Amino acid sequence: MAGYGLAYVALATKDVARAARVLGELLGLPRQDVRLGGGTAAAFAIGETALALFSPDDPFLGSGAKPGVHHIALAAEDPAAAAAQLTRAGFGVSAGAAGLPELDPGGTHGVRIRLAPPLGLGVGRSAHVERVDHIGIASADNVPVVATFCGALGLPLESQQTDMEVQIAVESFTSDRYGVVYHSRAPVPVGGLRVAFITAGDCELEFLQNFDPNQSGHVSHGSAGNTRQDQGAIARFVASRGAGLHHVAFKATDIDRTLAHLREAGVPLIDHKGRPGSRRARIGFCHPDAMGGVLIHFVERGA
C-alpha cells in the first residue's frame, strides 16, 4: 500500500472567487474547472497535486462542512480496489457524499480522507510557488499517527522534531568596585509543538501536536506569528474541533517577495516577512480571511 500520492486537496471557502483570485491571479497557478461529484469545481495544479475550491454548503463535501481544509484525496486509479485493500487492512471505509470511498476519520486520527483517481491537471508551478510543501494537521498524539500512516498506510516518515519557544532570564550583578557580572538562568519553555512529517506524493502531511497540554497560548491575527502562537492555534483547534486538517503550506521560491506581492495586492497577512520554522525553513502565514477562512502559509527552504 506504499506510495500514495494526493489526487487533490479539498478546500472549503466562504468566498470561492476571492480564494481563486489568490491562487490564480496573484500566485499565478494554472486553473482548470473539473467535475467532482455532481458539480464543477475550480481546481489549481500545484506541483503534482491539485487544490479544489468549494463553498461549505457544496453537496460534494457533505453536511456540516466548515471553512478550512476539508479533506484530502489519496490518488488511486481504481478507488474501489484500493478501498477493498484498506478494508482488509482494518480501516473503516464507506461511500462518501459523492460516491468516492471515504475512510472513517476515527481510524485516521481525525483526518478526512477519500480515495479518488488523479485529476490529470499536470504539474503546476509559478514564479511564486513550486508545489504544496505540506498539509498541516492538528494532532492529539503523534505516536499512534505514525503507526497508522507509516505502518498501516505505508507512507514514508520524512522526519520528526520538536519546535520550542523558551524564555531566558538574565541576572546582572553591578558593583562600583568589581564591575558587572551577568548570569543566565536555565531556559523556561513557554510554548512548543511536536511535529511529524509523513510523505504523500511530492509533499508531506505535517502532524502538529501541542507539546504542553496545559498551555493554550495566545493567538493574535494582528501581529507577526511565533512558535508560541503556532502552538496556541493548534491547542485551540483541537479543543474546539478535535484533531484534523488545519492548513495548507506552499513551497515558495522567495518568501519575502511573495508576501510583499500579496500585501501590495491587498491580501491580509499575519507575517509580512519570513520567520524561522520547522526543517530549517522560513515561514509566513496569510490571515484566514485571505482565502475565505482557509489558513495558508508559505515555506522557503533548500529542499
Contact 67, 60 (CB under 8 A): no
Instruction: Specify the CATH number for the domain of residue 84.
Output: 3.10.180.10
Q: Is residue 1 part of a domain?
A: no
Strands (E) across the chain are located at 6-12, 31-36, 39-46, 49-54, 68-75, 93-95, 101-103, 113-116, 129-139, 157-167, 170-175, 179-184, 188-200, 203-210, 244-252, 275-277, 281-285, 296-300
Q: In terms of pLDDT, which residue wins out, 226 or 105?
A: 105
Total-model pTM: 0.87
Q: Is residue 287 part of a domain?
A: yes
Number of domains, the chain: 1
Whether pLDDT at 216 is above 60: no
Q: Is residue 52 part of a domain?
A: yes
Split at pLDDT 50, 70, 90, the class of 166 is: confident
Split at pLDDT 50, 70, 90, the class of 193 is: confident
Q: Compute the average pLDDT of residues 118-135.
A: 95
Place of cell 499517527: 145
Split at pLDDT 50, 70, 90, the class of 226 is: low
Whether pLDDT at 218 is above 50: no
Q: Is residue 274 part of a domain?
A: yes
Contact 128, 27 (CB under 8 A): yes
Report the alpha-carbon distance of residue 13 to residue 88 in Å, rounded: 35
> What percent of the chain is modeled with pLDDT above 70?
92
What pLDDT is attached to residue 192? 83
Q: Is residue 205 part of a domain?
A: yes
Q: In terms of pLDDT, which residue wins out, 211 or 262?
A: 262
Whether pLDDT at 213 is above 50: no
Chain Cα centroid distance, residue 143:
19
What pLDDT is attached to residue 38? 80
What pLDDT is attached to residue 12? 98
Q: Is residue 51 part of a domain?
A: yes
Written as one letter, the residue type at 74 is L
Q: Compute the average pLDDT of residues 110-124.
A: 94
Q: Is residue 69 part of a domain?
A: yes
Range in 156-165, 203-212, 235-244 the model is least confident about: 235-244
Q: Please state, rounded to an integer, the average pLDDT across all residues of the chain.
A: 90
Written as one letter, the residue type at 167 is Q
Written as one letter, the residue type at 40 is T
Report the alpha-carbon distance of residue 66 to residue 13 in Å, rounded: 8
Report the DSSP beta bridge partners of residue 199.
204
CA distance readout (Å), 75 to 8, 72, 272: 8, 9, 35
Task: List pLDDT tens digits, range 74-103.
Answer: 999 999 999 999 999 999 999 877 789 999
Sheet holding 101-103, edge to edge: 31-36, 39-46, 49-54, 6-12, 68-75, 113-116, 101-103, 93-95
Report the alpha-carbon distance of residue 38 to residue 98 in Å, rounded: 7
Q: Which domain holds residue 81?
A: 6-300
What pLDDT is attached to residue 142? 94
Q: Is residue 33 part of a domain?
A: yes
